[in-house]
Amino acid sequence: MTRSRKDLRQDRQFAPDPWQVREDGLRLDRLAQTESVFALANGHIGLRGNLDEGEPFGMPGTYLNGVFEMRPLPYAEAGYGYPEAGQTVVDVTNGKILRLLVDDEPFDVRYGTLQHHERVLDLRQGVLRRLAQWRSPGGAAVRLHSTRLVSLVQRAVVAIEYVVEALDEPLRVVVQSELVANEDVPVSTGDPRVAAALDRPLEALDARAHDRGVHLVHTTRRSGLRVAAYMEHHSEGPEDLSIESTVYEDVGRTTFIATVDPGQPLRIVKYLTYGWSSTRSVPALRDQVGAAAAGARHTGWEGLLDEQREYLDLFWSRSDVRIDGDAEIQQAVRFAVFQILQSGARSEERAIPAKGLTGPGYDGHVFWDTEAFVLPVLTYTEPRPAAEVLRWRQSTLPAARERARALRLEGAAFPWRTIGGEECGAYWPAGSAAFHVNADIADAARRYVEATGDDDFERDTATELYVETARLWMSLGFFDEGGEFRIDGVTGPDEYSALGDNNVYTNLMAQRNLRCAVAAVRRWRGGGGGGAGGGVGVGGSRRRAAEEVEEEEELASWSRAADSMRIPWDPENGVHPQDEQFTAYERWDFATTSPDEYPLLLHYPYLQLYRKQVVKQADLVMALWVCGDAFTPAQKEADFAYYEPLTVRDSSLSAAVQCIVAAETGHLDLAYDYWGEASLMDLHDLEHNTADGLHMAALAGAWLGAVYGFGGMRDHGPGLLFRPRLPAALRRLGFTIFWRDGKLSLDIDAHHARYRWEDGEAVQFQHYDQRVELAAGRQRSLPIPPLPTRPALEQPPYRRPARRVSPA
């Protein structure tokens, strides 16, 4: 049952704090949600925020980016081109566990008396801290401090400081530090194929105990990926402290035993390292994680903390969003930016899954969410991970080309959902037919190149992505008798409309894709440059003269298709139809739809959704944002007003997009309401699915709403354009973005926008209709023009965003 949008702010769990997310007390009924919120990651390793002792848990989880297991995708009736295998993220070897026994009684928060419990995710330090005070059933009182870190500097390293204090009298304390493979994991889906894939997915290859440590090496049974985990420890404590290590196939354990006196705590620092490979040998992986552990030990606990803080100090200095007037959203936006950073900081040619590395939601798959929502944030705050994700897409081109061939198409057809690069979407209308993912990838590459000026990346990576996706569009679309280029039978971002002709978002993105391909090939033809995309981005070698002639013909066809792209218009309603047929359909009967029938896809067959005017998530409205240069201001106002009463936001992707366009069209209070929903999606668990991981695209929406929404930034053409404007509830908004070789900061109040440029050569941009140039170290304050009064817009019944009232 879905709650009404009116009560989404109730039962707030985390008090507003500008730089922390704090949980006071422990809600066992919300463990799974808080495990996601308190997750730590670096793009390579992800740890859910489980309690140190391992139990109780909502859902245990330790993830390595790219490690998955295969499973079959059977169909009641097979069809040509259907994917045959699925991929599911694997919970790899768990090294978080530190079990505590006090005078033979296990520390378990469900027994005895938990006198105090707090957890704090520190967004500046990049650590999760925990403080617990517990009295055992036998009366023994202990205090536990733990601090957990996933290094943003040393890619393979996790470290945990664990301190046990006796409060009243000397206590015999046993700490069991463990590595555990194949732990029991609850399967959140009812799909038995997923359950089968996750039933003991790791097969032991090597297990050894060392002085104060253990390593385990496993392989996934079907996908054949080798996973290595290593732990070792530093300890300080009583003189009678004894330590021993044991190991079995799936469990490694180092046990610490001591008598702890009040005032003389037992302190353990646990160093964990992880690695995986599809090709490297067991000895090579074992040595790799051992060497990483040696590096961590050499750095030491305090050194790892210092590295983490220095990394984040630099990051926040160039990426912070500052809000005056809403402490709750200030916390939410910083939390969102921090989690986006964690999702990709050290991904190194790996993807960013829809749930990051915080949980198993969506089977750990990557969608278009990454390029369309997450990469804009990284491009302007921490560009290197954005480039790494796009290089991963390039590395999957062989699978994408094979998928295109299976579909009888040319070029590359990137998957709707995947982990390893192969299509895993079993439902065609809402999966493979959503070809816009290809243009989303190309556009993310375009944005990165434009923002960074990285010519090497454009030559070696972006051009190949442009070329292969351009070839796809040419084989997917066709020129009609009137000379227009049509792309029929595709699904746009709105998954309540499928297999439509000339989806406006898809066609505009394909048009830009084709133009990028033409410009890049002409720029880099014959330029060499090595890499997979040298020359013209195919094969890395310069073409012969005859091939150059053929290439010119191909480029000319791309240009012609782009220039004659079909963009539907409905003159009767004076709006752009989402696709050719959309505005001719009957409108959804909202009057007879009860509030507990949302999301609609769980209560109505797709047949009913596909043939009505009802929108799951912003589609045409997303085109107004991302392809805004294709619309006049009057068209944007009319289109937004038309689609607002049809959009039910059964997807968490929608609120941020509606926020951005509402702000641009002058509906600032409505934009503020949508921004609140986008920003608090996971912290308030608005969609009731935070338990299986944070939704990275929804988190990105918090930043997108600030920068593209109220900052009014647009990047769909050469250079940057800003049309900033604040809702009445906010006094000030400030943010900083990377642009080329410098930092551009913008501070906005009700009447003025102050721009400051740091580093690099002079920068040019546009403020409303005014061209602006700033030299390094200079700033300029410009007026914000008055806003015309706009009539309020209607939303579907029960689907209006909750009114945003800033908490006292």
Query: Catalytic positions, please?
Result: 495
Tokens read off for 30: 């919300």
Contacting residues for 302 by C-beta, under 8 A, at least 6 apart = none
The span from the CA of 299 to the CA of 366, in Å, is 34
Nearest 10 degrees: CA dihedral of 15, 20, 24, 29?
Answer: 90
Query: At 128, is the secondary structure helix, strand, or coil?
Result: strand
What are the φ and ψ backbone dihedral angles of 140, each rounded to 5 degrees? -75, 130
Instruction: Indicate the helix (H) or strand (E) that contains 99.
Output: strand 98-102
Q: How far apart are CA 56 and CA 51, in angstroms?
A: 7
Q: How far apart are the first and last CA of the chain?
A: 30
* DSSP helix/strand/coil, 509: helix
Name the 3-class secondary structure at 53.
coil
Residue 555 in tokens: 């480029």
Tell me which residue has tokens 């240069």.
629
Distance CA 456, CA 529 (A): 8
Report d(CA 408, CA 686) in Å as an integer.
Answer: 41
Contacting residues for 513 by C-beta, under 8 A, at least 6 apart: 438, 439, 442, 443, 466, 469, 470, 473
Which two tokens mark 467?
């070329």
CA dist 535 → 352, 463, 470, 515, 556 (Å): 29, 9, 16, 18, 18
Strand duo 721-722 + 763-767: pairing: parallel
Q: What is the largest CA-CA distance in the chain?
A: 90
State the residue for tokens 């391909």: 517
Let me know: does 504 contact 579? Beta carbons within 8 Å.
yes
Instruction: Copy the structure tokens of residue 269.
Output: 């620092």
Angle in degrees, CA 25, 22, 380, rounded to 5: 155
How far is the C-alpha of 339 from the C-alpha of 775, rounded, in Å?
A: 33
C-beta of residue 105 within 8 angstroms of C-beta of residue 138:
yes
Long-range contacts formed by 745-754: CB under 8 A, 24+ apart:
746/711, 746/722, 747/322, 748/710, 748/711, 748/724, 748/784, 750/726, 750/784, 751/783, 751/784, 752/781, 752/782, 752/783, 752/784, 753/722, 753/724, 753/781, 753/782, 753/784, 754/779, 754/780, 754/781, 754/782
SS3 45: strand
Amino acid at 181: A
In one-letter notation, the amino acid at residue 578 is Q
Euclidean distance between CA atoms 217 and 288, whole angstroms: 11
- Pair of tokens at residue 474: 């040419």
C-alpha to C-alpha distance for 729 and 711, rounded to whole angstroms: 15
d(CA 606, CA 589): 15
How many CA within 13 A on the CB side of residue 80? Answer: 5
- CA–CA distance, 317 with 390 (Å, rounded to integer): 25
